[in-house]
Amino acid sequence: MKADVNMKVKIDITKIFFTPPSNMFERIALFLTILVTFIMFFGPLAFSKMPPVEAIITAAVPSLTMSWAWLVLLRSIFRKRDFCKK
């Protein structure tokens, strides 16, 4: 028998967004993406006339949101079974 390839899956959006990283791969991926994006955003701000605390906060907010979005995207691609609605 052939399995239906076009089967629709309903994903629990709140669960996929608000569940903290549960395994070591997710934790490492989240940390590395936070680190890389923070360096990318903080690099140009380090040499500006902006105060250091303001530059850190300005670089941290987009790096945290982008890295969490990347984690959610990876979850929705590779771990659909864990975040399906019952």
What is the pLDDT at residue 8?
73
Instruction: Kindly report, residue by residue over 20-33, the tens digit of the pLDDT.
Output: 888 899 999 999 99
**Which pTM value belongs to this model?**
0.75
What is the pLDDT at residue 7?
64
pLDDT at 4 over 70: no
Q: Which residues contact 12 (CB under 8 A, 6 or more apart)?
A: 83, 84, 85
Spatial contact of 66 and 33, defined as CB atoms under 8 Å apart: yes
- Residue 47 in 3-state DSSP? coil
Instruction: Kindly report, residue by residue over 35-84, the tens digit of the pLDDT.
Output: 999 999 888 887 888 888 888 898 899 999 999 999 998 888 888 888 78
